[in-house]
Amino acid sequence: MIISILFVIFVGLAWGITVGAGYVAFLTVFGIIPRLTQLTKTFSKIYAYEWAAVLGAVLGTIAFLQEPTFSLPAFLLILIGLADGIYVGMIAAALTEVLDVFPLLAKRIGIDDRLLILMMALVFGKIFGSLFHWIYFIP
Amino acid sequence: MAETIYIRMRHRIQKKSDERIFLQDLAQIIATDELLSSLKNVCLYHITEQDKNIIIIDSTRLIREIKKRYKDLEIQLIGPAQTIIEVVFEKKKVALPFFILVWLLLFIGSGLTIMNFHEDVSMQTVHQRIYTMITGKEIEKPLIFQIPYSIGLGLGMVIFFNHVFKKRLNEEPSPLEVEVFNYQQSLDQYMIMHENKESIKKVDDH
């Protein structure tokens, strides 16, 4: 009995470590945190940002395993939703950059000067695609 | 004692077809005034119809041409060892319909991929659960969460690319610009190695 409990604990721990390491690797490849420190010029706070990511991941896991409910006003969801969106948006942007889509496209069809307008196509596509999905697509 | 001149070849220049390339186009030169004025107009190449859109002039060729005219000049080369000449045929302009097509392609593609992503990670369920977690109520469509989320999505991309339309958030180049620069750099490097006839020697070259 004790052995099986210990084994389950070990498996859970191993699982968590792998997923956690994978998540950090994922963040590192996309370089979201360095990008944000560069924009806000707060290189000295980088460890605080790391802890923010780690704590967020741990609290998110706890929240989704325990499912606590708070009777808080609904407008808080606007802030959380916005933060969630910005985060996913940054990852989406980083992904297109990692995949080198734009430099190739711009070079091939010779539109180096109108790169910005093309980038806006991606941004608006994401916004409208997402709104369409939530408002109309889901029955 | 021989006079010394210093030459620094430019990295990349643009020239129209059917133009002649002079030394002053290819390189920056430091020399005495009288020498400079005659050196400037040494013609090194004439772009013809047969040329492709990239020509590479190696520094050895440049030095050879100068040596032909001024035998006992000492030439010091600083900087790049070759210049890439980009031959610009008539100003290539992308047709507007074509551009709109690409724009729509990206717009629709981007929108559909985000929908796929949402379905893939069951985001609707996650949003419903977050709604319940915060307010304690069940809801079918937590739009109060989802609409800010959608706007944030665009905002996040803009923040990452450091551009709000024409206005920048700060003066640093955006990752996209750096990426385009890196790509151009790699292309130049490739062309320097592969198109420059002076730097490759194959077995069957005689």
Which of B20 and A125 is assigned the larger pLDDT? Answer: A125
How far is Cα B130 from Cα B124, in angstroms, rounded to an integer? Answer: 10
Residue A45's alpha-carbon distances to A84, B12, B156, in angstroms, are 21, 41, 20
| Residue B43 host element (H or E) | strand B43-46
What is the domain partition of chain A in residue ranges?
73-139
Cα separation, B163 vs A15, in Å, equals: 39
B137, B181: one domain: yes
Is B68 in the same domain as B108?
no
Amino acid, single-letter form, for residue B121: V
Number of domains composing chain B: 2
State how far the Cα of A98 lies from the Cα of B164, in Å rounded to an integer: 21
Domain enclosing residue B79, as ranges: 3-88
Compute the CA torsion angle B177, B171, A51, A91 (nearest 10 deg).
-30
- Terminal C-alpha separation, chain A: 48
Residue B86 phi/psi, 5-degree rounding, is -100, 120
Domain boundary among B38, B59, B88: B88
Using one digit for the tens of pLDDT, what is the confidence trace for A15-37? 999 999 998 888 888 878 887 88
pLDDT at B67 over 70: yes
- The reply to whether residue B183 touches residue A63, judged by beta carbons under 8 angstroms, is no
Residue numbers in A near B169 (CB within 8 A): 39
Residue B199 lies in a domain: no
Shared domain check, B68 and B158:
no
- Cβ–Cβ pairs < 8 A, chains A and B: 220
> Over chain B, what is the mean pLDDT?
81
Which pLDDT value is given to residue B92? 60
The answer to whether B132 contacts chain A (CB < 8 Å) is yes
Which of A107, A117, A118 comes nearest B183 by C-beta? A107
Which B residues, 143 through 162, put their C-beta within 8 Å of a C-beta on chain A? 143-162
Residues in chain B closer than 8 A to A87 (CB atoms)? 152, 156
Residue that finishes a domain, picked among B42, B64, B88: B88
Q: Is B165 exposed, middle or buried (0-12, 13-18, 19+ CB in 10 A)?
A: exposed
Q: How far apart are CA A69 and CA A50, in angstroms?
A: 27
- Report whether pLDDT(B131) > 70: yes
- Regarding an ipTM greater than 0.85, the answer is no
- Considering the domain boundaries, does residue B18 fall inside one? yes
The answer to whether B129 contacts chain A (CB < 8 Å) is: yes
One domain, residues B114 and B163: yes
Q: Which of B109, B136, B156 sits opposite A93 (nearest CB)?
A: B156
Residues B113 and B186 in one domain: yes
Q: Which of B202, B166, B128, B150 is nearest to A64 (CA)?
A: B128
Give the CATH number for residue B12. Answer: 2.60.480.10
Token pair of A13, please?
A: 């721990």
Same domain, B128 and B146: yes
Residues B78, B147, single domain; the answer is no
How confident is the model at residue A12, as a pLDDT?
93
**Which of A30, A120, A130 best probes binding to B when mutated, by most B CB atoms within 10 angstroms?**
A130
Same domain assignment for residues B19 and B77: yes
| DSSP, residue by residue, A53-86 | HHHHHHHHHHHHHH-------TTHHHHHHHHHHH
Lookup: tokens for B179: 């990426």
The residues with which B4 forms a beta bridge, in sequence order, are B74
Question: Per-residue pLDDT for B206 more than 70?
Answer: no
Rounded to whole angstroms, how far apart are CA atoms A33 and A46? 8
pLDDT in tens, A107-129: 666 666 677 787 888 889 999 99
How many angstroms away from the CA of A42 is the closest CA of chain B? 14
Residue B136 has pLDDT above 80, yes or no: yes
Inter-chain CB proximity B133 and A69 less than 8 Å: yes
Whole-number Å distance between alpha carbons of A86 and A47: 21
CB-based contact (8 Å) between B139 and chain A?
no
Read off the DSSP letter of residue B81: S
